[in-house]
Amino acid sequence: MDKNRGFEIISSYKDKNINLPKRQTKNSAGYDIEAAEDTLIPVFHPGQAPVLVKTGIKSYLKENEFLMLVNRSSNPLKKGLVVSNSVGIVDSDYYNNPDNEGHIMFSFYNFSDKDILIKKGDRIGQAIFLNFLTTDTDSASGSRSGGFGSTM
């Protein structure tokens, strides 16, 4: 069977009881993603870097696809958590990159009035598989050489 798109556990988390993302209903667009370990997200202060929450998973997809990572709708209201980059984009060439094997992480700020503890297994976000288009004059020819944030 050909692999088109899906999720796998990264090698360093194989023995850590990681659940692969799944949709909760047949009409859900997003696959719920869980935290791979407990992570404390302190109250935000100006100049503070966002906190990366590890998932222990990676995603394979076709070359003309990307995985969109979005916050759970309940996180801002109930926990004060916002994704620092608003929407995360996982490109197909992020899979099995040499830096981090394609480890998917969510980057959070905490705008509540208390530190928030994300527990292993907490649903932290959603992943949606999408196609993308290119222009008639597109000439991109580079290749990925690193992991998280390497195309900055």
Place of tokens 């667009």: 29
Q: Which domains does the chain have, with CATH numbers?
A: 6-131 (2.70.40.10)
**pLDDT, one tens digit for every residue, the chain (152 residues):** 789 999 999 999 999 999 999 999 999 999 999 999 999 999 999 999 999 999 999 999 999 999 999 999 999 999 999 999 999 999 999 999 999 999 999 999 999 999 999 999 999 999 999 999 999 999 888 765 665 554 44
Enter the pTM of the model.
Answer: 0.89
